[in-house]
Structures are given as C-alpha cells and as structure tokens.
C-alpha cells in the first residue's frame, strides 16, 4: 500500500502547529487589505486583520495559485506519495477547480500516482473536522481509499452556521443590500447564515439581539444532531476576533450536550472578509444541514 499524505488549504482555520505536527500540507489562499496581498508566509495577525476592517479598510480574497498547487503536489509525487486533498467549498471559490486541475496534471506527469480531491462543501473548521478524522484513520492504518470514502460520505453532514454582529460587512461583501443593512442595524437584527447542500453561504433565519443570535446557533444544533449526537469528531466554534462570545457559545454547548472536545479558532480571511469582526460560527456533524 502506497503511503499517502493529507493536504488542505489555508481556509481550514486549524492550528498551524497541529497541521505541521501531523504532516498536513497546506495550499495557501490569498487575501488583500487595500490591495496589498497577504498569504503564504506574509500574514497579518487575527487582530491586525480585523482591526483593519474595523477601520474601514477594504478586504478581499483570492483563490489558490495554480502554479503553487502544481509545485506542492509535485513535491509529494517525487517522494512516491499519494494525496488526499480536503478542499474548501467549490461554491465559494475557484480554488476547488484549481486543485482538481492541478491533481489531473500531476497524475498525468507521474503515472501511478493517485490524488483524491474531496469538496467538503464547507469551510473553516468544517474542513478541520474532516482533517482530524482523516489523520486519525491514517494513523490507525486506513488506506487512502478508505479514508477518502469516510470523508466523502460524511462531508454532506457538516453543519456550519454563522451569525454576524455588523450587517455592514455583509453589505460590503455583496451578500446584503444597503437598505437591508441599514434597516437591520437600526432594529438590531442579527442574521443566521449557513452552508447549504451546495456549499453556498445563505440566510437561514434572523433574530433580534446578539445574545439571542448566539443562543439560536445552539438551538439549531439541537434540532440537527440526530444520529450524529454521539458521532462527533469535535465541535468547532470560530470567531471574528470575539473570543469571549465564542466561549459563551462553548459553555452553552457543554452545559446542554456535555461536549468538551471543542475547538475554538479565529475565522480566517476568506470568510472573515465577508462576515467581518464579531462573527461567530458553530460547526458540527448532524443529520441535516
């Protein structure tokens, strides 16, 4: 059985030290602040990124670079290793197609090499859940095909829900009209967004008030767990530079469900550029989206 490596993209929001420790290769995505490009070694800290947005600086995102993808994949090809790539949602970026094209090119150049690319239809710690499980399976001796089959089967059960604190960032990112942003701000409306079955980030609900929006994330989780209640890899909570709110959600989850394996991580630039400071997301496996 050929050895395989697990790769992903920088949008997975997992702790870089964890990824490095387990030999997970990372394909960088890029972002800009006022047209200055960051990514792949040139990074802003979480606070610097979100403070720039608070100051009104324009944030935008860019997909992965096809040439970088080919270079990274070729490094593994030269080591006679196959690849399982766990990808950011194809509905939110051209990155998935870039990865698929890079995989096809490298397999043509190195016959006998196998690169499996899986669209998780998710982002952030949704990818992270799949990464951790893939690592566990690989360490237990599962093959590339066995590991890929689990990730492919369970990715449609990833639940990712977000709420945002400032509607103006959704407006700036083109996900909300100006009039809706103004009206929603005046009456303190907080939207609940989720990743649908096609991997798109769309509106699910709207509630009034910050505390209510955080509680709604947990209420929605209870409705969706189903048979996955006892099959969690970990519970993910992500935030746009508002860790206290993320911990508030974590405490509610522990009190209600008893889960203690909870990853709390900052939201990376690819989602954060649209959701803005103050966003909070909850990620878990469930029967329904």
The HSE-up count of residue 55 (CA atoms within 13 Å, CB side) is: 10
The pLDDT assigned to 212 comes to 95
Enter the tokens of residue 176. Answer: 């909300």
Kindly report the average pLDDT of the chain as a whole number. 90
Q: Indicate the burial class of 141 (C-beta count within 10 angstroms; 0-12, 13-18, 19 or more).
A: exposed
The pLDDT assigned to 173 comes to 54
User: Tens digit of pLDDT for each residue in 10-61?
Assistant: 999 999 999 999 999 999 999 999 989 998 888 899 999 999 999 989 888 8
Q: Indicate the burial class of 127 (C-beta count within 10 angstroms; 0-12, 13-18, 19 or more).
A: buried
Same structural domain, 132 and 44: yes
Enter the tokens of residue 75. Answer: 């490094």
Residue 27 in contact with residue 9, Cβ under 8 Å?
yes
Same structural domain, 16 and 151: yes
Asked if the model's pLDDT at residue 181 lies above 50, the reply is no
Same structural domain, 146 and 52: yes
What confidence category does residue 226 fall into, taking pLDDT thresholds of 50, 70 and 90? very high
Same structural domain, 64 and 192: no
For the residues 137-165, what does the mean pLDDT come to?
Answer: 95
Q: Among 15-24, 185-194, 221-230, whose mean pLDDT is lowest?
A: 185-194
CATH number assigned to the domain comprising residue 85: 3.40.50.10170
What confidence category does residue 177 fall into, taking pLDDT thresholds of 50, 70 and 90? very low
Residue 116 in contact with residue 126, Cβ under 8 Å?
no
Same structural domain, 237 and 99: no
- Total structural domains within the chain: 2
Same structural domain, 140 and 69: yes
Asked if the model's pLDDT at residue 165 lies above 60, the reply is yes
Last residue of a domain, one of 155, 184, 200: 155
Same structural domain, 15 and 92: yes
Domain that holds residue 268: 157-285
Enter the tokens of residue 96. Answer: 């998935």
The strands making up 30-33's β-sheet, listed across from edge to edge, are 36-38, 30-33, 59-62
pTM, rounded to two decimals: 0.93
Same structural domain, 76 and 171: no
Last residue of a domain, one of 155, 183, 216: 155
The pLDDT assigned to 19 comes to 97
CATH number assigned to the domain comprising residue 204: 3.30.1180.10
């Amino acid at each position: 059985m050929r050895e395989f490596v697990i790769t992903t993209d920088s949008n997975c929001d997992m702790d870089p030290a964890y990824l490095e420790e387990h030999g997970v290769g990372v394909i960088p995505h890029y972002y800009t602040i006022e047209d200055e490009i960051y990514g792949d070694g040139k990074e802003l800290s979480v606070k610097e990124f979100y403070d720039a947005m608070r100051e009104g600086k324009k944030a935008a995102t860019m997909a992965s670079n096809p040439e970088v993808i080919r270079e990274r994949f070729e490094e593994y090809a030269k080591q006679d290793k196959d690849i399982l790539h766990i990808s950011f949602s194809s509905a939110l970026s051209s990155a998935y197609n870039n990865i698929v094209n890079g995989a096809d090119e490298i397999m043509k150049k190195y016959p006998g090499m196998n690169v499996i690319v899986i669209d998780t239809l998710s982002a952030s710690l949704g990818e992270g859940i799949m990464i951790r499980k893939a690592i566990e399976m690989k360490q237990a001796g599962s093959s590339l095909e066995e590991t890929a089959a689990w990730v492919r089967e369970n990715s449609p059960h990833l639940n990712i829900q977000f709420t945002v604190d400032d509607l103006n960032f959704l407006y700036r990112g083109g996900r909300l009209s100006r009039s809706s942003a103004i009206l929603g701000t005046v009456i303190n409306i907080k939207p609940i967004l989720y990743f649908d079955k096609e991997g798109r980030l769309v509106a699910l609900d709207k509630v009034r008030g910050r505390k209510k929006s955080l509680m709604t994330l947990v209420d929605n989780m209870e409705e969706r767990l189903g048979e996955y209640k006892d099959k969690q890899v970990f519970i993910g909570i992500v935030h746009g530079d508002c860790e206290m709110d993320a911990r508030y959600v974590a405490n509610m989850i522990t009190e209600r469900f008893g889960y203690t394996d909870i990853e709390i991580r900052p939201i990376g630039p690819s989602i954060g550029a649209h959701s803005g400071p103050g966003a909070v997301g909850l990620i878990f496996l469930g029967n329904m989206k």
